[in-house]
Amino acid sequence: MKKTKACRLLHTVLFLLLLMAAGCDRSISKQAVPETPAAANEQPRLSGTILMLTNRIDLIENGTMQRYADQFMKKYPEARVEFEGLSNYATDIMVRLSTKDAGDVLLLPVNLPAKELGYFFEPLSAEMSARERFTTFATFEGKRYGLSTGTTTSGIVYNKKAFQQAGITEIPQTLDEFYAICAKLKQANITPLYMNYGAVWPLREWGNNMVNYMAGNPDYLNDMVHVDDPWQLDNEWGHSIGIARTLIARGYAENELFSNQWEISKSKLAKGEAGMYLSGNWTIRQILDAGAAPEDIGFFPFPYDNGLKHYAPLNPDWFIGVSKFSRNKELSMAWVNFLVKETSYTAEGFLPIDGNREPSMEQYREFLSYHPELVEATVQTDTFIDMANRSKLSFASGDYIQELIAAPDLKKSFDELNEKWKEARALTGVK
C-alpha cells in the first residue's frame, strides 16, 4: 500500500515536472523566435485602397493628386489612394454623407453643425492636429475633426496685359475707380470681370463672404441670429449685392450668364481676354496652370466702397478629415497627415499658415502692399447654421445669391428672406 502511494506520488511529481518543462519550452520558444520589431526608419505596414472626395477636380485632371498618391506609395507600398471630384462640392457632399457614401477621406462641409461632426468624422489625435491656426473650426467639445488645407484671402485677380491694353495705369483704390476701369476694359473689347454667375458657387464672394469682412466683423453672419430682418438695402447685404447687380446691369460681367463657364473663364483670364475675377487667392495657381505667365497676373484688395481703408478676409480653406464610415481609418489618417504636412498641397496657391512668413508668390506680396486690414475668420455657430437650414438658405452653395442678383425687386426679395429668417428665429428661440 505504501509502495503504491509512493509510486503515485512519484508519477504526480514527474507529471508536474513535465508540465513545467513544457511551459519553459514554450517560453523559450517565444524568445527564440521574437516578432521582428520595426526598424527606427521603417514605416508601419499599412495596406488597402482608400477613396478621397474633393472639390479639386483640376488637381485630379492634371495629375497632381496622383503624384501625391505615388509619393505616398513610396512610404506605404501596399497602400492605394483613389480620387473622386465633385463639381458642386458644398451641395453634393451633404447628399453623400446622408447615404454614408462619402469615401474614406473628404473635405468637411462648411454648413455642418459642429455638434454633428462626430456623427460623420473620426476625431484626430492631439499630435496630428497640433499647431492648427484656426482653432475654432472643425472642433467640438475639445475634439478636432479636420486639418486646414490652407489660408486664403479674397480680392481681385487680374491680367496686367489686359489692363495695359485698356490703358489702365493705376490699381483702383475706390469703388468708383473700380467701375471706371471696368468701363475701360469693356471699351477695349475685353470682358471686364468674370462673375461666374452660371457656376453659382463663386457668387458666395458677392454675398456672405463679402459682408463678413467689409463690416470688419468676422462674426457678422453669426450676429444675424439676434435680429429678425438682417437683409436691408442700406446695410452690408444691400451694398454687396448691389455691386454685383450694378456690374451685370452695366454689362461688365461675362456673356451667357446662365452657363457654367468656370473652366473657360480661367483660360480667358490667362489669355487676357478677360480682365478680372473677384475670388480667393487659390485661383491664382489655377490661372497660371491655364497658361498665364506669372508676371502677367496680379492681385489687389477689392475696393468695395469709396472709403480710404478696406478690409480683406483671412480664412481657412477647406478642412480635410476621415469619414466615420471608412473601413480603413488607420490608412486614411496616414493619408490626411501626409497630404497636409508632407506634400505641396497646402502651399500651392495659399498664403503661409504662419503669418510671420513672407508669401512665396509675387501676387500675394502685391496684395499685401496695399495694406488691407485682414479680418481673421471665426467659425459659424451651430445656431447660425441651424437657422440657415431652417430658412432653407444654403450659404455654402451661393444659390440664393444668384436669385438676389437676378431679382426684379431686391427689396421685395430681402423682405421674403427676412420673413423666413424671422420664422426660423422663432422656432429656435434665439434672443
Using one digit for the tens of pLDDT, what is the confidence trace for 323-372?
Answer: 999 999 999 999 999 999 899 887 766 765 555 566 667 898 899 999 99
**pLDDT surpassing 70 at residue 18:** no
Residue pair 331/46 in contact (Cβ under 8 Å)? The answer is: yes
Q: What is the pLDDT of residue 126?
A: 87
The 3-state DSSP class for residue 82 equals strand
Q: What is the pLDDT of residue 246?
A: 98
**Residue whose C-alpha cell is 451641395:** 91
CB-CB neighbours of 91 under 10 Å:
18
**Residue whose C-alpha cell is 471706371:** 180
Decide: residue 9, CB within 10 A, 0-12 exposed, 13-18 middle, 19+ buried. Answer: exposed
**pLDDT surpassing 60 at residue 147:** yes
**pLDDT surpassing 80 at residue 43:** no
Q: What is the pLDDT of residue 130?
A: 80
Q: Give the pLDDT mean for 390-411.
A: 90
* Prediction pTM value: 0.74
Whole-number average pLDDT of the chain: 87
User: Nearest CA to 222 among 210, 212, 232, 234?
Assistant: 212
The 3-state DSSP class for residue 396 equals coil
Q: What is the pLDDT of residue 132?
A: 73
Give the full edge-to-edge strand order of the sheet including 297-300: 191-194, 274-280, 154-159, 297-300
- Which helix (H) or strand (E) element contains residue 177? helix 175-187
User: Nearest CA to 111 among 379, 399, 419?
Assistant: 379
Q: Give the pLDDT mean for 192-196.
A: 97
User: Nearest CA to 342 among 69, 66, 49, 62?
Assistant: 69
Q: Give the pLDDT mean for 115-132.
A: 90
Report the C-alpha dihedral over residues 69, 70, 74, 75, rounded to 10 degrees: -10
- In the chain the first and final C-alpha atoms are separated, in Å, by 96
How far, rounded to the nearest angstrom, does the alpha carbon of residue 384 sit from its chain's CA centroid?
Answer: 19
- Which helix (H) or strand (E) element contains residue 266? helix 262-271
Read off the pLDDT of residues 209-218 as tens digits, 9 standing for 90 and up: 999 999 999 9
Give the full edge-to-edge strand order of the sheet including 151-152: 151-152, 311-316, 373-376
As a whole number of angstroms, the distance between CA 225 and CA 208 comes to 14
Percent of residues, the chain, with pLDDT higher than 70: 87
As a whole number of angstroms, the distance between CA 44 and CA 203 comes to 45
**Which of 37-51, 97-111, 149-163 shows the lowest per-residue confidence on average (mean pLDDT)?**
37-51
**pLDDT surpassing 50 at residue 289:** yes
Higher pLDDT, 410 or 112: 410
Q: List phi, psi (to 5°) of 67.
A: -65, -40
User: Nearest CA to 66 among 351, 348, 343, 323?
Assistant: 343
User: Nearest CA to 221 among 345, 382, 350, 355?
Assistant: 382
Percent of residues, the chain, with pLDDT higher than 90: 70
C-alpha cell recorded at residue 1: 500500500
Residue pair 375/314 in contact (Cβ under 8 Å)? The answer is: yes
Q: What is the pLDDT of residue 7?
A: 41
Q: What is the pLDDT of residue 349?
A: 62
**pLDDT surpassing 70 at residue 135:** yes
Read off the pLDDT of residues 229-285 as tens digits, 9 standing for 90 and up: 999 999 999 999 999 999 999 999 999 899 999 999 999 999 999 999 999 998 998
As a whole number of angstroms, the distance between CA 319 and CA 117 comes to 12
CB-CB neighbours of 329 under 10 Å:
16
Q: What is the pLDDT of residue 330?
A: 97
Listed as own residue / partner, the contacts of 390-394 with beta carbons closer than 8 Å and 24 or more positions apart are 390/423, 390/424, 390/427, 390/428, 391/417, 391/420, 391/421, 391/423, 391/424, 392/420, 393/417, 393/420, 394/90, 394/91, 394/111
Q: What is the pLDDT of residue 13?
A: 36
As a whole number of angstroms, the distance between CA 59 and CA 54 comes to 9
